Amino acid sequence: MLPHASLRLKQGFGRLIRTGTDRGVVVIADPRIVTKRYGRGLLDALPPAARVIGRWSVVVERVREFYQR
């Protein structure tokens, strides 16, 4: 299941960001992405990008800042 999940996540990310000028936000709200070992593997498989890990209020504020730029 994990290789399939990793592939699907990468494909979804790739559909959001297709060129160097594309911008977007991917939110993964499942805490297992940072609390489980397999979650680290999923994150490591993604292209380089800014990451915010924390309370929802902090994440929402960072997303707002991203779109205001």
Q: If you ran DSSP here, which 8-state letter would residue 22 be given? A: -
Mean per-residue pLDDT, 32-60: 91
* Average pLDDT value for residue range 1-26: 87
Look at the chain and report how many structural domains it folds into: 1
Whole domain around residue 25: which residue ranges?
A: 2-68
In whole angstroms, give the CA distance from residue 32 to residue 58.
18
- This prediction has a pTM of 0.77
Q: Which two tokens stand for residue 20?
A: 């160097």
pLDDT over threshold 90, residue 22: no
Residues 44, 38: Cα–Cα separation, whole Å: 10
Would you state the structure tokens that stand for residue 62, as one six-digit string? 């960072």
